[in-house]
Amino acid sequence: MELHELLARDWRFSRSASTGERFTGTARFAPAPDGTLHYHEEGRITFQNGASSMFFRDYVYRVQNDRLTAFFSDMRLFHAVTLSRRGDVWQGAGHHLCIADDYDTTYLIAPDRLRITHDVAGPKKAYRLETEYRPA
């Protein structure tokens, strides 16, 4: 399957933060007329103290051959990743500098799963987010 096809669907996800928070929810990569994929996720975050809250997040993804570019919903660049392909599995890594904090992101995209990991390090932030997606 091509990269665009692998992503463009509904997903269920679970996310863990190295700081103790847990997230569960649903996500959709919806094809847009301009060829981008509009990403929307929503779900519940549970904090270390047991309190929980609803959340949502939106991004825009552009897929061009083996390159995946993620933008915030206002179209500011989040990161760009060049992916390598083995069969139906795509993998790659990207980087984003947010003022003085470094965001290193890895992707594993396959027909039956998607994994996105963010490692964040800097003077204001230090954590790891691991998200595992399964087709809904």
Delineate the domains of the chain, giving CATH numbers in brackets.
3-135 (2.40.128.120)
Nearest-angstrom CA–CA distance, 54 and 75: 24
What digits encode the pLDDT tens for the residues 32-60? Answer: 999 999 999 999 999 999 999 999 999 99
- Residue 89 vs residues 2, 93, 96, 104, 109: alpha-carbon distances, Å: 10, 14, 23, 20, 6
How buried is residue 49: exposed, middle or buried, by Cβ count under 10 Å (0-12/13-18/19+)?
exposed
The model's confidence at residue 120, banded by pLDDT at 50, 70 and 90, is: very high
Q: At residue 1, does pLDDT exceed 80?
A: no
The answer to whether the beta carbons of residues 133 and 12 sit under 8 Å apart is: yes
What pLDDT shows up at residue 49? 96
Handedness of CA 119, 26, 59, 92 (dihedral sign): positive
Q: State the Cα–Cα distance between residues 57 and 61, nearest whole angstrom.
A: 13
pTM for the predicted model, two decimal places:
0.94
Average pLDDT over residues 18-37: 97
pLDDT (0 to 100) of residue 98: 84
